[in-house]
Structure 1
Amino acid sequence: MVITDIRLRRVRATMPTDGDHWEERLVRPIDVYPEYRTRDDHEGGVQTPDGFAFIAHFVEIETDDGLLGRAGPVPETVAWIVARELRPLLTGQDPIAGEKLWDQMHRAQVHGRQGATMLAISAVDCALWDLRGRLLGQPVYRLLGGPTRDEVPAYASMLGFSVRDLDRVRARAIEYKKRGYRAQKWFFRHGPASGYEGLRANVDLVRTVREAVGEDYDIMFDCWQSMDVSYVTELAARIAPYRPRWLEEVAMPDRIDSYRELRQRLRIPLAGGEHEYTRWGMRRFIDTGALDVVQPDIYWCGGLSETLKIAAYATAHDLVTIPHGHSAAATLHFSLTQSPMHTPYQEHLVKWNAIHQFFLVNPVEPVDGVLRPNDEPGLGMEIDLSRADADEIVFA
Structure 2
Amino acid sequence: MRVTDYELFAVPPRWQFLKLETSDGRVGWGEVYTKWHFAGDSEPATRSAVDQLMHQYVLGEDPSRIEYCWQAMYRSSFYRGGPVHMSAIAGIDEALWDLKGKEADMPVYDLLGGAARDRIRLYHHVRAHGDDVSDPAAAAATEAREHVEAGYDAVKLVPTGGLEPVDTPATVERAREIVGAVREAVGPDVDVALDFHGRASKAMARRLATALEEFEPMFIEEPVTPEQDREFARVAEATTAPIAAGERLYTRWDFRPLLEADAVDIVQPDISSAGGITETKKIADAAETYDVSIAPHCPIGPLALAASLHVDAAAPNALIQEQVIVDDADALAYVDNGEIFEPTDGSLELPDGPGLGVDIDEDRVRERAGTDLGFDRSPGHRADGSVGER
TM-score range, shorter chain: 0.7 to 0.9
Contact 2:127 2:140 in 1 (8 A): no
Q: Which position in structure 2 is the counterpart of 1:178?
A: 149
> Secondary structure of 2:74's match?
helix
Contact 1:78 1:116 in 2 (8 A): yes
In the alignment of these two chains, the number of paired residues is 351
Inter-partner Cα distance in structure 1 for 2:128 and 2:367: 26
Q: Which position in structure 2 is the counterpart of 1:206?
A: 179
Contact 1:159 1:349 in 2 (8 A): no
1:346 aligns with 2:314: no
Deviates more, 1:267-276 or 1:360-369: 360-369
Q: Normalising to structure 1: TM-score of the pair?
A: 0.82
Alignment match of 1:365 (pick from 335, 342, 367):
342
Map residues 287-302 of structure 1 onto 2, 5 A cutoff: 287-302=260-275
Q: Which position in structure 2 is the counterpart of 1:68?
A: 27
Alignment match of 2:209 (pick from 236, 239, 254):
236
Amino acid of the residue matched to residue 95 of structure 1?
P
Q: Which position in structure 2 is the counterpart of 1:116?
A: 84
Task: Provide closer, same or farther for how the CA distance between residues 160 and 124 of structure 1 changes in structure 2, counting only shifts above 3 A.
Answer: farther
Map residues 193-342 of structure 1 onto 2, 5 A cutoff: 193=164, 195-326=168-299, 327-339=304-316, 342=317
Contact 1:6 1:83 in 2 (8 A): no
Task: Provide closer, same or farther for how the CA distance between residues 204 and 160 of structure 1 changes in structure 2, counting only shifts above 3 A.
Answer: closer
Amino acid of the residue matched to residue 10 of structure 2?
R
Deviation at 1:352, TM superposition (A): 9.7
Inter-partner Cα distance in structure 2 for 1:302 and 1:317: 21
> Secondary structure of 1:290's match?
coil
Gaps of 5+ in 2: 35-43, 372-390
Inter-partner Cα distance in structure 2 for 1:171 and 1:243: 19
Q: Normalising to structure 2: TM-score of the pair?
A: 0.83
Q: Which position in structure 1 is the counterpart of 2:140?
A: 169
CA deviations 1:228-282 (Å, max 9, x no partner) are 2211221122212211121100111111111011112212111101110111111
1:93 aligns with 2:61: yes
Amino acid of the residue matched to residue 346 of structure 2?
G
> Secondary structure of 1:237's match?
helix
Gaps of 5+ in 1: 13-53
Alignment match of 1:142 (pick from 110, 135, 147):
110
CA deviations 1:16-67 (Å, max 9, x no partner) are xxxxxxxxxxxxxxxxxxxxxxxxxxxxxxxxxxxxxx35421111110111
Task: Provide closer, same or farther for how the CA distance between residues 232 and 153 of structure 1 changes in structure 2, counting only shifts above 3 A.
Answer: same
> Secondary structure of 1:57's match?
strand
Contact 2:126 2:140 in 1 (8 A): no
Deviates more, 1:107-116 or 1:285-294: 107-116
Deviates more, 1:115-124 or 1:195-204: 195-204
> Secondary structure of 1:152's match?
strand
Deviation at 1:294, TM superposition (A): 1.0
Inter-partner Cα distance in structure 2 for 1:7 and 1:297: 22
Deviation at 1:78, TM superposition (A): 1.4
Task: Provide closer, same or farther for how the CA distance between residues 310 and 356 of structure 1 changes in structure 2, counting only shifts above 3 A.
Answer: farther
Deviates more, 1:226-235 or 1:84-93: 84-93
Deviation at 1:381, TM superposition (A): 3.3
Identity of aligned residues (%): 32
Q: Which position in structure 1 is the counterpart of 2:352?
A: 375
> Secondary structure of 1:361's match?
coil
Contact 1:247 1:271 in 2 (8 A): yes
Amino acid of the residue matched to residue 254 of structure 2?
G
CA deviations 1:328-381 (Å, max 9, x no partner) are 111111111122xx2232223358976754412234232221100232111133
Contact 1:330 1:379 in 2 (8 A): yes
Query: Over the residues paired in the alignment, what is the CA RMSD in angstroms?
Result: 2.4
